[in-house]
Amino acid sequence: ADGLRADKFFEPDERGRYRAPFLRGVIEEKGRWGVSHARPPTESRPGHVAIIAGFYEDPSAVTKGWKANPVEFDSVFYQSRHTISFGSPDIVPIFCSSLPHSTWGSYPHEYEDFATDASFLDHWSFDQFEGLLNRSLDDVKLRQLLLQDKLVIFLHLLGCDSNGHAHRPYSSIYLNNVKVVDEIAERMYNLMESYFNDNGTAYVFTADHGMSDKGSHGDGHPSNTDTPLVAWGAGIRSPKFLAYTDKPDDGFRFVDDHRHDMPTPQNWALEGFERVDVNQADIAPLMATLVGLPCPLNSVGNLPSHYLKLSKSDEVEAVLANTKQILNQFLRKSEQKQSSSLYFKPFKPLVNYSSVLDRIEDLISARDYKTAMKYSEELRSMALAGLHYFQTYDWFMLMTTITLGYIGWMANLIIHVLQSYTTFPASLLKRTQVYPMNTSMKVYIGGCLFMGLSSIILLLEKSPPLYHAYVFMTIFLWTRIVQNYEFMKSAWRELFNMPFKYIMNLLISSVAALLILEFLVRTPPVIDTSNV
């Protein structure tokens, strides 16, 4: 359900009735629930990539538009034997248009009319799937396709997102759309159980992002990052009743920086049912495990084992497979960085990873599943930390270069203003000796040599072109500063020789200018007209 925020899904309406009675019944009687935490930018594309592929797309991918993927990536859809999907033309084609083993459809863009109630888009998606099942009754080939294993069915319901943008999430139209989504979930469940009639279907209900009170999304506010997660069916545990206790903060943080074991709001009336929150990328390995598929190649999601109804041995094997998949990514990153670094610094906590894997295998053979699970989860956490280590391997160099670049840019602007728009140059030329031509040439030659040396090092390390741009611009700016060193030194001396009153006037004028600029660019207040 695109754009469905968690609180509007779980809380009751003004009459005390819950907006999603079917899915609430699932939470209380059939399955498991929690809050899925999305990572900013909370947009549709990164959200669906996290759910389907298990990794957090680079934020710059949002600027690529919706026409095609910036890069190809593995996903639950690619791993499936066949994928069936219906929904928005902005979402479904991105993940299915290049997938040969898929059956999909999307409505025309003209259907997305923000002036009307967009809940009919959700009905369209369900009706298309229902029509597909009806056609299979007369189409033997289609029926055989539907009855094979490892089948993934994805319904994208855009209504809440469109109505949230147009009418805001407090409007009656948005809140009614939550009820529509629940009705479609119930109809979908009944249709699937009637058609397959084998109790072999697993259901996962969630959202890609929420919706702010302003009718927007994208940032890290809880109204945008917190989305509902409900799972039930084959392979899912039954509800677990727990007496409410105030759990201490264990230090764990989700990708939206929310702490572990957040208290459940009282008006949700779900304190007695175990709540299992996940990171949004954790849903991909959950779906893959339920269908019997390998985790997507680049997934960084932790398999949420508390959702799975497995034997102890199968549960450990599933978590270990998830651990190995993430560990393989770490090893590949380490290999790539080692092959291109002149001075390689390994991630020391995982230097002896192979011995840990052997230890886990021995524990499984000895049927010590509890200890094996502990070691598997610890190794998985270390592999994720190792991935982060190599993803930020060049952080210090880049931050230093960029910071020096900004400082150099500001210094050059100050020099330009002093030389071009003040009386400093005339007075300073009388008192100081500027660099002669040959000295300036030496400075430029030194800068060029430094650029050349930096370029050779970056080429040897196979650095991306953007690294070259950062370094070259920084060196160029500081070469200009060194060239004007004598002017800057004289200007500094001239400033301190001025009367104290003049300096105070200059400081006061600067502060006043900054305050005026802050007033001009401040964010205007937003007036809530959703109930008007």
Tell the residue number behind the tokens 């105070």, with chain if given: 504
Distance from the first to the final alpha carbon of the chain: 26
| Per-residue tens of pLDDT for the chain, all 532 residues | 999 999 999 999 888 899 999 999 999 999 999 999 999 989 988 999 999 999 998 766 666 555 555 557 899 999 999 999 999 998 999 889 888 999 999 999 888 877 788 899 999 999 999 999 999 999 999 999 999 999 999 999 999 999 999 999 999 999 999 999 999 999 999 999 999 999 999 999 999 999 999 999 988 999 999 999 999 999 999 998 876 555 555 567 777 677 666 788 889 989 889 999 999 999 999 999 999 999 999 999 999 999 999 999 999 999 999 999 999 999 999 999 998 888 899 999 998 999 999 999 999 999 999 999 999 999 999 999 999 999 899 999 999 999 999 999 999 988 888 777 766 655 555 555 445 556 777 888 888 899 999 999 999 988 999 999 999 999 999 998 888 877 777 777 776 776 777 767 778 887 888 888 777 766 554 444 333 3
Task: For residue 427, give the nearest of 485, 505, 480, 491 by alpha carbon.
Answer: 491
Place of tokens 């999909």: 104
Which amino acid does the sequence have at 251?
A: G
Amino acid at 302: N
Which residues, 6+ apart, have CB-to-CB distance to 241 below 8 Å? 272, 273, 274
CB under 8 Å to 253, separation ≥6 — which residues?
A: 259, 260
Crossing angle, helix 140-147 and helix 120-136, to 10 degrees? 110
Contact 363, 371 (CB under 8 A): yes
* 285 in Cβ contact with 302 (< 8 Å): yes
Strand, helix or coil for residue 118:
coil
Sequential DSSP letters for 402-454: HHHHHHHHHHHHHHHHHHHHSSHHHHHHHHS-PPPHHHHHHHHHHHHHHHHHH
CATH 3.40.720.10 given to domain 6-309: yes
Domain definitions of the chain by residue range: 6-309, 311-391, 395-521
Identity of residue 440 = S
Residue whose structure tokens are 């840990």: 356
With contact defined as beta carbons under 8 Å apart, do 64 and 47 qualify?
Answer: no
